[in-house]
Amino acid sequence: MNISWVKWASVVLGCGILYVSAINAYLQDHRLKVAVLDVGEGDALLIETPYKQRIVIDTGPGEASSYDVGAMSLPFNHTVGLLVLSHPDADHIGGAAAMIRSFAVQRIITLGPDSVDAGKSGAWKMLWDTIAAVPQKPALITPMGRITVTLDHTVTLSLRAPALPEAKPTDYNDYSIAALLTYQGRMVLSAGDASNTEESWIADEVGKPVDVLKVSHHGSKYSTANDFLARIAPRVAIISVGRNTFGHPSPLTLARLAAHNIAV
């Protein structure tokens, strides 16, 4: 028998055993995982439930975003159970079309296709053109008020959407869909680019302290007001931000977070 062949076969077998062991360890890891993905000046959250269902909230600014939504899962798992697009700004939905082409997205929660002037938003038009073109179309849910999704019988995602005006707005920040994730008494709140106006309404809806806050609008000075922070009292705040000309995150926002003793 060729000794080199035996050594090579041993290496292949060893790699196979390690791979199977890694899969087994992954499948036995029944923890909730929440990752705020590195997409620069934009938002993208990846949530993996204890039994490996995936939720994505926003997708960053485009196909060139420096993230792989499959990074937290096995290579053969190409399913996204739920995609939530908080509002139509390109830094939140720019990567959605690429995700729908690359993954089996089962459900999408966002504003209805006619809620936005597609002629003024290339990312919005690309999203709906892509949905129309893929053979396996995701189910579309357009929230009005509050809806709740339960996954794995352990994870609850409550979504709250303010009513849109009859005339299509030019700024959708204050029509962002707010998402409250709850698991074993722990809560994570994300609200797109909501400003102080919508955050007051969100605080009324949530009605209790949360553990983690994904700070609205990349730390804009027009979000994350003192009253809002006092009412939801997060222990940790996460700011998703990249190079920008807007001054994000604002020193005023950082000062307010520090004044409330919130770890950033």
pLDDT digits (tens, 9 = 90+) for 212-237: 999 999 999 999 999 999 999 999 99
Q: For residue range 64-90, what is the model confidence (pLDDT) as tens digits?
A: 554 555 454 555 678 899 999 999 999
**CATH number of the domain located at residue range(s) 31-259 in this protein:** 3.60.15.10
Please tell me the pTM assigned to this model. 0.86
- Average pLDDT score over the chain: 86
Q: How far is CA 2 from the centre of its chain?
A: 53
- CB-CB neighbours of 9 under 10 Å: 12
Task: For residues 178 and 87, give the distance between their C-alpha atoms in angstroms, rounded to a whole number.
Answer: 10
How many angstroms separate the Cα of 184 from the Cα of each of 14, 30, 198?
38, 13, 27
Q: For residue range 144-193, what is the model confidence (pLDDT) as tens digits?
A: 778 899 888 889 999 988 888 877 888 889 899 999 999 999 999 999 99
Query: What tokens appear for 116 in the block?
Result: 């936005």
Tell me the HSE value of 65 on the side-chain side, using a 13 A CA sphere. Answer: 31
Task: For residues 43 and 80, give the distance between their C-alpha atoms in angstroms, rounded to a whole number.
Answer: 17
- Where residue 28 falls (left for φ over 0; alpha for ψ -120 to 50; beta otherwise) is alpha
- CB-CB neighbours of 24 under 10 Å: 10
Residue with structure tokens 């849109």? 164
Model pLDDT, residue 151? 85
Q: For residue range 11-49, what is the model confidence (pLDDT) as tens digits?
A: 666 666 655 555 555 555 678 999 998 888 999 999 999
Q: How far is CA 240 from the centre of its chain?
A: 11
